[in-house]
Chains A and B, each alone.
Chain A
């Protein structure tokens, strides 16, 4: 593929759309608003078209692994069975209304998702246990502020001592907020720099594996 098609056309489209969306944000013109809405809809449509690519990739990769009987191949087979069961039952009759699909969704998918989310409680505990080892001054500060914040959000904190929520909220509202806002300002500036590099074609991530210049 020529460099013009591979690199220049995507960059031109990116630059034009970036400038257009900026104009739509700042300038009060109905035509810009309408076109901006249309462009956002194109993004949604393109994303919807890409989903089948995901399905095809998943099927192709899993079939390759199953055919070669690679390590853990039954997991890949099971993944395909589950995916096609959900797709087929979801497409039968009214979209997503088939009783089998609804049963699978309500009784398996929802509960598995809740289970995965609840695992976070254990992960937070183990990660916190590592963080709360006061090996140096920084870790000791994390430990102290962490204990106050935990006791602030837990009802027992105020029962132990009414000053705990006051100190915990101070940690949250002053040092924590200041640090986070500093990071957010830095992120904003970083995104601006990334945007300019992208429009000028110096950010490789946007031109998909471009060869070394």
Chain B
């Protein structure tokens, strides 16, 4: 019935889900775990404030297709966009959004419109500032680089799954003096994003952003659960190293089932 070679994955998925639900229940009872600060998220207020003080726009771009493994990164990009749009609606900062794919357009439009409506500044919402260029990688990269060069934004935020285009945006942002925040879970782009941005969200920080921004104890509970799961994985790695060194490949066989 179960597919061979995936038993251990299923056991881990179930075990980690049970741990997460247990921590969520604890959080509901008022025992929410503490999570460390995420400087890149805290810096959003700073980059929006910078744009407001300088009277220049803020460019925001979301990356990642929605029908494959990149989707969680795109969802994080939308979650952070919601927060940024509320801030720009309050401060009157000109928010320019460059959706990476056509599938993002209705989502970002709705997020930004609702944020402006919620802040009572719907008249400041400009649909033409949602600037879609192309689904093609380098055509999109050219569009964003052109937008940075023309609009001279005070701040630039890019969150999502990025490839070669990431360095193009960020170096252009450096050239035009924009303060930037970058976020990705794509390991091959992390070094460049760390190098070229003022603040970075990388790896699992990306997926903690939603919980961090909401401050909701249940959401924060899911982050606390990942810490417990991390200790389990580290323990298994150490146990595996010791067993293999002793010539006992028991754990390897168990995990490859």
Interface positions of A (Cβ within 8 A of B): 22, 25-29, 40, 43-44, 46-47, 50-51, 53-55, 57-58, 60-61, 64-65, 71-72, 75, 79, 112-113, 116-117, 119-120, 123-124, 126-127, 130-131, 180, 183-187, 189-198, 200, 202-206, 208-212
Residues of A within 8 A of B113 (CB): 209
User: Could you tell me the distance between the alpha carbons of A162 and B121 in the complex, rounded to whole angstroms?
Assistant: 65
Q: Is the CB of B164 within 8 A of A54?
A: no
Judge whether B102 is part of the interface by a CB distance below 8 angstroms.
yes
Residues of B within 8 A of A124 (CB): 167
Residues of A within 8 A of B78 (CB): 204-206, 208
13 A-B pairs (CB sep. < 8 Å): A27-B3, A44-B67, A50-B103, A50-B106, A51-B102, A61-B128, A61-B131, A112-B138, A120-B168, A185-B233, A193-B223, A203-B75, A205-B74
Residues of A within 8 A of B17 (CB): 192, 196
Q: Tell me the residues in window 178-220 of chain B with beta carbons closer than 8 Å to chain A beta carbons.
A: 185, 187, 190, 192, 195-196, 202-208, 210-211, 214, 216, 218-219
Q: Is the CB of A126 within 8 A of B142?
A: no
Judge whether B76 is part of the interface by a CB distance below 8 angstroms.
yes
Q: Is the CB of B3 within 8 A of A193?
A: no
Q: Is the CB of B222 within 8 A of A193?
A: yes
The 9 closest A-B pairs by CB, nearest first: A54-B102, A190-B207, A209-B114, A190-B204, A205-B79, A205-B78, A186-B204, A209-B111, A43-B67
Residues of A within 8 A of B102 (CB): 47, 50-51, 53-55, 57
For chains A and B in complex, what number of residue pairs have CB atoms within 8 angstroms? 206
User: Could you tell me the distance between the alpha carbons of A134 and B164 in the complex, rounded to whole angstroms?
Assistant: 26
Per-position contact with A for B208-246: 1 when CB-CB < 8 Å, else 0? Answer: 101100101011001101100110010000000000000
Residues of A within 8 A of B20 (CB): 192-193, 196
Q: Is the CB of B207 within 8 A of A187?
A: yes
User: Could you tell me the distance between the alpha carbons of A198 and B72 in the complex, rounded to whole angstroms?
Assistant: 10
User: Could you tell me the distance between the alpha carbons of A75 and B249 in the complex, rounded to whole angstroms?
Assistant: 64
Q: Is the CB of A204 within 8 A of B210?
A: yes
Specify the chain B residue showing the minimal Cβ separation from A203: B210
Q: Tell me the residues in window 60-103 of chain B with beta carbons closer than 8 Å to chain A beta carbons.
A: 65-67, 72, 74-82, 101-103
Specify the chain B residue showing the minimal Cβ separation from A40: B67
Judge whether B31 is part of the interface by a CB distance below 8 angstroms.
no
Max count, chain A CB within 10 A of own CB: residue among B78, B167, B203, B230: B203
Report A117 CB to chain B, min CB distance, Å: 6
Report B116 CB to chain A, min CB distance, Å: 10
Q: Is the CB of B226 within 8 A of A58?
A: no
Judge whether B176 is part of the interface by a CB distance below 8 angstroms.
no
Q: Is the CB of A203 within 8 A of B142?
A: no
Max count, chain B CB within 10 A of own CB: residue among A28, A54, A212: A54
Max count, chain B CB within 10 A of own CB: residue among A27, A44, A187: A187
